Structure 1
Amino acid sequence: MKLATLNDGTRDGRLIVVKRDNSAYAFATNVALTLQAALDQWDALEPRLRALAEELEAGRVQSRPLDVSALLSPLPRAYEWVDGSAYLNHVVLVRKARNAEPPPTLKTDPLVYQGGSGTFLSPTQDIPLVDEAWGMDFESEVAVILGDVPLGTQAKDAEKHVKLVMLCNDVTLRNLIPNELAKGFGFFQGKPSSSFSPFALTPDELGPAWKDGRVHLRLRSTLNGQVVGDTDAGPEMHFSFFDLLQHISKTRPFTAGTILGSGTVSNEDRARGISCLAERRMIETIEAGGPKTPFMKVGDRIEIEMFGPEGQSLFGRISQKVVKP
């Protein structure tokens, strides 16, 4: 099942069900007005949404042509946005970029931060950049939307709490982060509004690609028309979504509608490319003594997409241009 949120001029939009080929949609508002409303009663409403999706595929319900530019992020705002850093190659490279050592618990204790969740950008919305000196970067990620998660949930029991899967552009202002971290109190200004893919899928839509709490597919990042990354999101995700879920629920529960991110998808094989510019800059530093690639500037466009085995765009395309606000 593929869900999305249509921009109807309200803060939270209207829930729609989307055809598998992304060509058309049907309103789901007779089941739930918004995606958050559906998540709040997921066990009761999910079967009705699936039935509607089947009717849409069979052409037995009124549908409308889909214009991706009319969509908000699946959750235009969320109760919480928690992002991990599950790809160890990314952790190592980015830490080197700011002359910091990886934590001694790198392989045993996941890194997470809590970002702002009240003003997500839509998947085709411009990214405002006040000052290019801030060092804007994209970060191509996989994310999941959770149902209610009890305190102390274990990884072996986590799968039932993952309701939907989507993609993310976790925008980062790299040059603001070192001074923030030097205060010993984490990210804040260095993490502006993120955006998410047009569509959120139930895990079963991914078939065998959804395995052990990971999405075993390639994630493509295209910057200014050039493919810069075709990274494999599966094997090198050291901490699965189930591991991350166990980690974050150690001391508190989470409510339905919480978004959990994988962190930047990263592969040791450099032929796979990059999912953020910080990695390319670090590789340039290692190989040539200093970075050559600039961070994003006004006018740049980043596109993020994931394809199924038959070449279909599963989550739709994040396509955003950097602009002066």
Structure 2
Amino acid sequence: MKLASLKSGGRDGTLVVVDRRLERAVRVPHIATTLQQALERWSEVAAPLALVTQELEAGVRADAFAFDTLQAASPLPRAYQFLDGSVYLHHMEKARKARGAAMPPNYKTDPLMYQGLSDAFCGPHDPLLLPDESLELDYEAEIAIVTDEVPMGTTVEQASSYIRLVMLLNDYTLRALTRTELPKGFGFLQAKPTSAFSPVAVTPDELGAAFDGERFTLRVRSSVNGQRMGEPDAGRDMFFTYPQLIAHAARTRTLSAGTIIGAGSISNQDESVGFGCIAEARIHEQGVHGAPRTPWLRFGDRVCIEAFDVTGASVFGAINQVIEKGVRSK
């Protein structure tokens, strides 16, 4: 299934089922009015939602309408919990070296993870509002999962069964603030503004062989102002898997239904595929040219992130945003 949330209907949006081509959609208020509501009743609603998908694909839904990604909020416009990890150690090592920070002593035994802003996410085509260009805004192309309720103490072997949805994530970072904020030892706060997610979230079965229960073998392309930055494979060079991230997060707490977990900026050791963030591109340029050439994001820049399956079809739709000067009022 492919599910989305329209902006109409309040802060949690209106749940719709979307066809595989991302062209048609159906509202399903008789099943669930919001995606959060569906996740909290997944055992009851999964089969009815799947039936709607079948009918939509068969072209027998008279109530279907054109799906406009401009009218889509992030699949979960807000969430009770958003956790982001860093499982591509190649990226972590380079990012820390760039800001003069050592790797933590246990980085190969325990995943790095922080709890991010989750009370309001950007829509996939909404502008990202930034108060000041000098904060060195960077994008990070990621794949995130959404869980069912996960019991405390869930093991790695059990964790995959709690993955309900998959989506793209642009986890913005203010690089100028990481250099002053992270040495305090309390993690991210100001350095992580709101994030954005793809127009649709998909159930793992929708990905077929691209999901092996642990990782997603998908090419994730990113560009700035139409210039391709990279197209790394999300399934390659992962040191920790999604089940390991779930088990790590649930060690001492229950995860509520609708918890979002990211895996960090996608990074392959083969740099010929490019990069999933500006920071890595600048580090590469520093080594090759003696100085970075790619600027941090500025007002008016457009960032696009999209994932493709083996046929070249877009899996989640694109996150396509312009950076604008301003602050969010709500």
Give TM class, smaller chain.
Answer: over 0.9
- The residue correspondences of 1:80-159 to structure 2 (distance < 5 A) are 80-159=81-160
- The residue correspondences of 1:1-325 to structure 2 (distance < 5 A) are 1-61=1-61, 62-325=63-326
Q: In structure 1, how many angstroms separate the alpha carbons of the residues matched to 2:30 and 2:238?
A: 38
Alignment check: 8 A CA contact 1:229 1:273 kept: yes
Query: What value does the CA root-mean-square deviation take over the aligned residues?
Result: 1.0
Amino acid across the alignment from 2:54: E
Amino acid across the alignment from 2:74: S
Q: What is the CA distance between 1:159 and its match in structure 2?
A: 1.1
Q: In structure 1, how many angstroms separate the alpha carbons of the residues matched to 2:308 and 2:293?
A: 30
| Aligned-partner SS, 2:232 | strand
| Aligned-partner SS, 2:176 | helix
**Comparing 207-216 with 136-145, which one deviates more in the overlay?**
207-216
Cα deviation, 1:225-271, whole Å, max 9, x if unaligned, reads 01111001002111110010111111111100110001000011111
Alignment check: 8 A CA contact 1:197 1:317 kept: yes
Q: In structure 1, how many angstroms separate the alpha carbons of the residues matched to 2:219 and 2:325?
A: 32
Q: In structure 2, how many angstroms separate the alpha carbons of the residues matched to 1:228 and 1:291?
A: 14
Cα deviation, 1:263-298, whole Å, max 9, x if unaligned, reads 000011111101111111112223333323211000
| Aligned-partner SS, 1:211 | coil
Alignment check: 8 A CA contact 1:212 1:240 kept: no
Q: In structure 2, how many angstroms separate the alpha carbons of the residues matched to 1:4 and 1:117?
A: 17
Alignment check: 8 A CA contact 1:39 1:257 kept: yes
Cα deviation, 1:177-220, whole Å, max 9, x if unaligned, reads 11111222111000000000001000000000001321101100
Alignment check: 8 A CA contact 1:86 1:262 kept: yes
Q: In structure 1, how many angstroms separate the alpha carbons of the residues matched to 2:159 and 2:206?
A: 18
Q: In structure 1, how many angstroms separate the alpha carbons of the residues matched to 2:119 and 2:107?
A: 30
Alignment check: 8 A CA contact 1:13 1:34 kept: yes
Alignment check: 8 A CA contact 1:120 1:194 kept: yes
Give the TM-score of the pair, scaled to structure 2: 0.97
Q: In structure 1, how many angstroms separate the alpha carbons of the residues matched to 2:106 and 2:293?
A: 31
Structure 1 unaligned segments of length 5 or more: list them. Answer: none
Alignment check: 8 A CA contact 1:96 1:282 kept: no
Alignment check: 8 A CA contact 1:129 1:322 kept: yes
Aligned residues with identical type, % of pairs: 47
Amino acid across the alignment from 1:317: A
Q: In structure 2, how many angstroms separate the alpha carbons of the residues matched to 1:193 and 1:119?
A: 7
Q: What is the CA distance between 1:104 and its match in structure 2?
A: 2.5
Cα deviation, 1:71-110, whole Å, max 9, x if unaligned, reads 0000000000000001111101100110112222222210
Amino acid across the alignment from 2:8: D
Q: In structure 1, how many angstroms separate the alpha carbons of the residues matched to 2:180 and 2:149?
A: 35
Structure 2 unaligned segments of length 5 or more: list them. Answer: none
Amino acid across the alignment from 1:98: R
Alignment check: 8 A CA contact 1:230 1:274 kept: yes
| Aligned-partner SS, 2:222 | strand
Amino acid across the alignment from 1:276: C
| Aligned-partner SS, 2:144 | strand
| Aligned-partner SS, 2:194 | coil
Amino acid across the alignment from 1:23: E
Alignment check: 8 A CA contact 1:90 1:264 kept: yes
Q: In structure 1, how many angstroms separate the alpha carbons of the residues matched to 2:100 and 2:183?
A: 12
Aligned length, in residue pairs: 325
| Aligned-partner SS, 1:167 | strand
Amino acid across the alignment from 2:197: F
Q: In structure 1, how many angstroms separate the alpha carbons of the residues matched to 2:314 and 2:228?
A: 16
Q: What is the CA distance between 1:12 and its match in structure 2?
A: 0.9
Q: What is the CA distance between 1:59 and its match in structure 2?
A: 1.3
